Structure 1
């Protein structure tokens, strides 16, 4: 027995060197952490831009040294991977993409087709897929990544957080990650969408330290519009109302603001606090149709007119006006998508679930059928609260 125990001990000692350590470990001092990646098309080549974090500047407790907390590097190649590797000629460390926050695609590349640019990120074994993908609207990804931002030292973190906050609180934006984007590109029953980011101001000025040294930032990044894709090619942009309608139809809407006209002039703001949307699709007489059912809860947020909020009639009228506004946004979004024959909402997926046999035949020319599809809206709004003061003091003011 003792001899057997001795042999077990020897075997354990022999295995210890094999189970300690990490075979593919990376020393932090050897890595350049990439926070943002941008890809543009330059003639027939890819221009890749990376935003790398300077750990010393970000972690400094001695105040600003006047140096930028991030650095940008560029590489040009026939493939994205070649462009990335070419950057090793100018970077002192190996680029490390596992902490990527934002992936920006230039509008020109998005219109030509972004499939090739996405392949590297989906194939990379070291990469994660929890970053957001956006389109540089009217500019290049390179220019977007040059802009320095206030509050957040790392512009990529600012873009990541802003997109999440905007999607939760405003609605005309969508926070899309790599897995969802690729799924929508290859699925026959839905097309892809991405949020656009624009540069407000002079891009050259935005890349300078002075851009974050004044209270009123001269140049800043702003999310604006939702890009519509057919497979991997950008075909159009939705405006603010259309984007809100898209978010509501696809059940992405958490909260937003709806403007309502007051009966005697002026305006009033309704805050949507909860929303739930369901698409009920079916095939009738050989034709696809769908009903979009929206249940919304809201509060009165801002009153800029004289109105009696404490009466049931007034609240009913406000609920009806809010329903009309939400329905209008949704109808605008559907009208544009049908005109472009681009099902970004997933009505095709809904038909597939409702009638698989019909879908097996319809999916080959679904864009054409979607453009003629009968889509109805059933919107129900309930106003829960009118605020802590009840009637507005504007009612007591003289004309």
Structure 2
């Protein structure tokens, strides 16, 4: 290739690259968007569902806080708008007609479903959110007692809006993992069972009206085949979280035997694993839990010290407390919910794929008969340097 041909090739190549520089033709300006911060989906009647979106109110330099606070159905920085349709896509199209700006789902981090809607099933709704490119897969999903819209409209004292309240609760990992991606995984699991945080209204401080408050997580919604089948209270929820390795942030208080007072420890880290066994025609599972904790309060007369046997006794009783919580959750799963909330099915499928293929359709009768053994170990790594005994 001579010099002229090389020059022509470079010139033509440069012209072609220039075509790629016009990248603003499909831009979306913030001023043209209605930013969604939270979404509530409720069952309106036998035919229609109601979709409510919490929209951020842009605050220009000329707007005062008083003017913004006049927005109805919101918290001062947001307002809530609703529309109904036969499905989410239909309701969304009706919602868009009520806005001068294009509704943008990309900032929504909270999706709240009313209990009546979840009783009818979530799979069709999740199909919309997973197909559309705007909703985030890491957004958090919740189930509310009563109408989800009611919680979305409440006023938040600490956070900017009610969606932010629920998001912070999920980030703190004090409840079941509720991301949209994780929910889709649970709905496709072998157990066909999903767990979501259960949200109720708590009365706001200083507010006399009991109907006015903020949403808070108070248990776990249990779904089978995408439909709500029961609500686990906070105590059972903790047992579930210990078993499925989702316990991250908790304080455990025990009452030492034959002593007055209590001991409280804070969880530092935890590892749980489920070991399935099939032998001689019997199905069994062993749940291993190993937690590491630090002592944060001791009101007993026990002198906790690394070299003393009293520390070992406290660790043993702490492990027994964890085992009791898991057994409580297991008993309710078998008798009350009749659902494999621990996904034992997935554990057996991974370890015994051929066996699972043979008995997959019989799992609903096999699960209640599974023998479950819990082996917990609790270490108190930091008993503390302060000893109240020396002042007594």
- TM-score, reference length from structure 1: 0.88
* Structural mapping, 1:25-104, within 5 Å: 25-43=27-45, 44-56=47-59, 67=69, 68-104=76-112
Q: Deviation at 1:28?
A: 1.1
Name the CA distance, whole Å, in 2 between partners of 1:374 and 1:270. Answer: 30
Q: How far has the Cα of 1:356 moved from its partner?
A: 1.2
Q: Which residue matches 1:261?
A: 255
Q: Which one of the candidate residues 146, 159, 162 is aligned to 1:152?
A: 159
Displacement of 1:105: 0.6
Matched, 1:345 2:347: no
Please tell me whether the aligned partners of residues 190 and 349 of structure 1 are also in contact (alpha carbons under 8 angstroms). Answer: no
User: Does 2:107 align with 1:107?
Assistant: no
* 1:343 partner SS: coil
User: Which residue matches 2:184?
Assistant: 182
State yes or no: 1:6 paired with 2:8.
yes
Q: Is 1:292–2:287 an aligned residue pair?
A: yes
**Distance across 1 between alignment mates of 2:62 and 2:183:** 37
Query: Matched residues in 1 for 2:20 and 2:129: separation?
Result: 32
- Is 1:161 paired with 2:145? no
- 8 Å CA contact 2:111–2:141 kept in 1: the answer is yes
Using the TM superposition, give the Cα deviation of residue 174 of structure 1 relative to its aligned residue in structure 2, in angstroms.
1.1
Partner of 2:73: none
Partner of 1:305: 300
Report SS of the residue matched to 1:161.
helix
**Corresponding residue of 1:224:** 218
Report matched runs for 1:182-201 at 5 Å. 182-201=184-203
Counterpart of 1:131 in structure 2 is 139
* In 2: Cα distance, 1:189 partner to 1:285 partner: 23
Distance 2:358 2:12 in 1: 67
List, as ranges, runs of 4+ consecutive aligned residues in structure 1 with deviation greater than 4 Å: 59-66
> Which secondary structure does the structure 1 equivalent of 2:59 belong to?
helix
Deviation at 1:8, TM superposition (A): 3.1
Structure 2 segments unaligned to the other structure (5+ residues): 70-75
CA distance in 2, matches of 1:11, 1:290: 64
Q: CA offset at residue 23 of structure 1?
A: 4.5
Count of aligned pairs: 377
1:99 aligned counterpart, secondary structure: coil
Task: Give the aligned partner of residue 362 of structure 1.
Answer: 359
- Deviation per residue, 1:314-353 (Å, 9 max, x gap): 1111111111110011001111111222111111111111
Maintained 8 Å contact 2:151/2:214: no
CA contact (8 A) 1:196 1:224 kept: yes
Give yes or no for contact 2:192–2:224 (8 Å, CA) kept in 1: no
Give yes or no for contact 1:270–1:301 (8 Å, CA) kept in 2: yes
CA distance in 1, matches of 2:62, 2:215: 25
Question: Is the 8 Å Cα contact of residues 52 and 71 (structure 1) preserved in structure 2?
Answer: yes
Query: Structure 1 stretches of 5 or more lacking a match?
Result: none
Q: Tell me the alpha carbon deviations over residues 257-281 of structure 1, each in whole angstroms, 9 at most, x when there is no partner.
A: 1111133212221212111111111
Measured after TM superposition, the shift of residue 51 of structure 1 is 0.7
Q: Secondary structure at the match of 1:8?
A: helix
CA drift of 1:135 comes to 0.4
CA root-mean-square deviation:
2.4
Distance 2:388 2:359 in 1: 55
